[in-house]
Amino acid sequence: MLKETRKTDPTLAELVDEELHRQEQNIEMIASESTVPVPVMELSGSVFTNKTLEGYPGARYQAGSHVADKVERLAIERAKELFQAEHVNIQTYSGTSANYSVFAAVLKPGDKILSMRLDQGGHLTHGSPANWMSGFYEHRFYGFNPETEQIDYGELERMAMEENPKLIIAGGSSYPRLIDYERIAGIAKGVGAYFMVDMAHIAGLVAAGVIPSPIPHADFVSSSTTKTFCSARSGMVFSKKEHAKLLDRGTFPGSLGSIHLHTMAAKAWSFKYAATDEFKEIMEQVVINARTLSRELGRQGFRVVSGGTDNHLLVVDLRGKGITGKVFQGALDGIGITVNKNLIPFDPEKPSITSGVRIGLTSVTQRGLKEEEIIGIAEIMNRVADNPKDENVLKECKEDAQKLIARFPLYPEGTFMD
């Protein structure tokens, strides 16, 4: 890989090398990250990137589509089979544009959306005032029960009945628990709203059957294909058969241009790979590792939001340790553990400071880390939290972190030899 880039642009080639080195050396625990298998990189860089096409297989706007049609049909068949879905659109470019596809499919300007509060884990595209799209719709938000730190279904139901939204959204970026899709589907049905689940974070766990799938319950299920799905930087949207035409129109021409055939091919590979025992075992271990970290951090005196996790991520309340999310993120980054600061439910701190961090287990699990190493990471995290400014302790922690991760190569040796 990169043979021609090395010849023509050594500056960029060096930056790729530098980034590879950074990823190899780091304990990567950003919950939205994962490592793509090499075929995903190969296909993302394949000649399919040269082909411009709009429309759908059998109904394209440009000539020369017969191979592309085979790729898209193959990807669709595999995705439907893997997720047991009635319909899927795999043209969308990302999790963000997947959501836009659904909005374009079923909403008109001024329509009302009921979604999870953004400071409790909802995504920017679910109605953040900072997102340009939010101005077109009316947004209402449901939140958490302060006791359980999980979705307050009673509040959700009350709001749905009072507000009569056109669309109800479930799913978020830092929600560590299972969601009762059936219950929300019932609420949506009762008020005549469409129900969409944004499974961007958990698609890999769902594909592997490690956690319940929203697909039987929701009208639409949008997703990124990065994150736990470990595939190309792209997206996908599932729907009930009855909404297939709406979804396809909302995607193209509703919200996208020409297809990205190269990432589509990479996704097709992943739809096959995600059905293998190898992928299932990784996803099972992701959940075991997340639970292990949650338990160990609890043992070290951290408070884990909602008391634990059912998926690949956890949110940790740092107030008991007397440090903020910002300080902890910075101190961990300095020793080679990458996490991100994150608001905890009802956080007294600003979003730029926060009282918590969000930690994800996908990348480290792909590298082969199991319970023993996760316990080691919890112990390092605890030393950092107790001594965030002590140079000597931090130096020791950095050495320990590097020693720990060095035994687990990011990619098999020789993968990137030119």
Ligand X SMILES: *Cc1c(COP(=O)(O)O)cnc(C)c1O
Q: Which of 224, 239, 354, 355 binds ligand X (CB under 6 A)?
A: 224
**Binding of ligand X by 96 (CB under 6 A):** yes
**Binding of ligand X by 78 (CB under 6 A):** no
Q: Closest Cα partner for 318 from 356, 358, 360, 359?
A: 356
Q: Which stretch binds ligand X (CB under 6 A): 78-86, 167-175, 304-312, 322-330?
A: 167-175
Q: Which of 44, 89, 91, 94 binds ligand X (CB under 6 A)?
A: 94
Per DSSP, the three-state class of 399 is: helix
**Binding of ligand X by 173 (CB under 6 A):** yes
393 close to 383: Cβ distance less than 8 angstroms: yes
To ligand X, the closest distance from the beta carbon of 121 in angstroms equals: 8
Counting every residue, how long is the chain?
418
Q: Which stretch binds ligand X (CB under 6 A): 59-67, 170-178, 267-275, 404-412?
A: 170-178
**Binding of ligand X by 360 (CB under 6 A):** no
**Binding of ligand X by 32 (CB under 6 A):** yes
**Binding of ligand X by 367 (CB under 6 A):** no
**Binding of ligand X by 263 (CB under 6 A):** no
Per DSSP, the three-state class of 63 is: coil
Q: Residues 6 or more apart from 141 whose CB is under 8 A from it?
A: 114, 115, 116, 117, 118, 122, 127
Q: Closest Cα partner for 21 from 13, 29, 10, 9?
A: 13
Question: Which residue number, 274 or 381, has a Cβ lying nearer to ligand X?
Answer: 274
Q: Residues 6 or more apart from 23 whose CB is under 8 A from it?
A: 35, 410
How many whole angstroms separate alpha carbon 358 and alpha carbon 314?
6
To ligand X, the closest distance from the beta carbon of 101 in angstroms equals: 12
To ligand X, the closest distance from the beta carbon of 110 in angstroms equals: 23
How buried is residue 18: exposed, middle or buried, by Cβ count under 10 Å (0-12/13-18/19+)?
exposed
**Binding of ligand X by 200 (CB under 6 A):** yes
Question: Which residue number, 171 or 250, has a Cβ lying nearer to ligand X?
Answer: 171
Residues that bind ligand X (CB under 6 A): 32, 94-96, 123, 125, 171-173, 198, 200-201, 224, 226, 235
